[in-house]
Structure 1
Amino acid sequence: MRRNRDADWNAWPVDDYLTENYRGLHPYDIGVIRHHAAVYRRFAPGSLFRTLELGAGPNLYPLMLAGAAARHVDALEPSAANVRYLRGQLTHGIDDSWQPFYELCRSLDPALPESCAEALRRVRIVRGTADDLRPDTYDLASMHFVAESVTEDVDEFTAVCAAFVRAVRPGGTLLAAFMERMPSYRIGTGPVWPACPVDEAALRAVFAPRTTSLRIARLAKDLTLPEYGDTGVLLLTAERPSPAVPPVQASSSR
């Protein structure tokens, strides 16, 4: 069983990953963006002082989505390769392939700035892992295809999710996407990366005791993407409970 420390994340194959997943809009992207934009629209522009993208990777659209509601966005990322890519995009301008993603984000949330560059101006790249998170720091935290994609150890998956929950202040919002039942996977012709197959029951077991207002929606498998062994995407929203409010029974949205 491989854990997070057993993989060389600094050698993450950025170009192959982007080519396989983000050089064009796929159904998964559209579904995630639609779901998340509806959450961000609940917040007035600038009403979230600081938000988190945990394990940002080279995926820019979660950072774009935060560009209206959040005044500051921390993109926490451990991989040197991903950090180089993110810093290059923020410094020199985004690749043309990201523009359709931003157009979709802005069509769903008109409060976003006119330009993607303005939306991303709020982003600060932070080198680090979930172990570096301080509790009670963020108004909202999001995470995309991270906790289930870095370890084969269920306990370590749970620990990453628990740190994710603790990172938001009581009453803060949690927003996440998980690959459903994805086994350890390969990008391009590179090495196999560790993963922990999770389903809705696994997410409820981890998040229901730690959150309130838990909702889990599902996207059907995206056949336009390479075969990673997944069966769909699970979309999670929840809140960290205030001290006086115990977690409640989760509900499901499909």
Structure 2
Amino acid sequence: MDSAPSYRGHRYPVEVISHCVWRSFRFPLSFREVEELMLERGVSVSCETVRRWCLKFGQVYASGLRRRRPRPGDAWHPDEVFIKLNGEQKYLWRAVDQDGMVLDILVQSRRDTAAARRFFRALLTRTGEVPRVIVTDRLRSYGTAHRELMPSVEHRSHKGLNNRAENSHQPTRQRERAMKGFRNVGAAQRFLAAFSGISPHFRPRRHLMTGTQHRAEMTVRFAVWEQVTGVAGGPAAA
């Protein structure tokens, strides 16, 4: 079992820190809105403190959740969408498997062959797996990168086949609007890397479950969250 993060030096208990980070990544809330919600619960914490907690612990929590995920499926769906960073157009590359599990994300300035090649390399390194098939839209850069890096993998290219990847961008769009955009590539990459690990953990495929099944699944997922953050059996922060 992985060890819980260290909260040494923090005057707030782990329960408060992990709850603020959960709210920030699970719902399209600003840091000021999280501050207000915590105040209603009798906890006085500034929006800047919440921002620092998300920056420090977001990726740590996301990595802990990823280590507990099942192996990815063998059908990968890469896709890319543009995002605005200080008024400049950049591209968010994302890949999901056939079950909608996010495999990796990468913010880049271009959507050319070099960008596709860089994303595929990162994807193979992150997962440690090679898929049976990749499904993309008709962007030519995918074909070139595929032939260079995964020549033995089947490649299906058709706009209508990649709705699964396109749908996975929707929570990011919601968050982008709530945050009024991202400041730069580094900030966007850091936030979205943590976001793609935390938010999907609390988004099971609700449409395939009954109410009872959904509540049972969420109970399990909250228990995993408590293990990852150190709430379950972990000492309070100093």
Per the normalisation by structure 2, the TM-score is 0.32
Structure with greater strand percent: 1
Structure of higher CA gyration radius: 2
Which structure would you say has the larger RCO, counting Cα contacts within 8 Å and 6 or more residues apart? Answer: 2
Structure with greater helix percent: 2
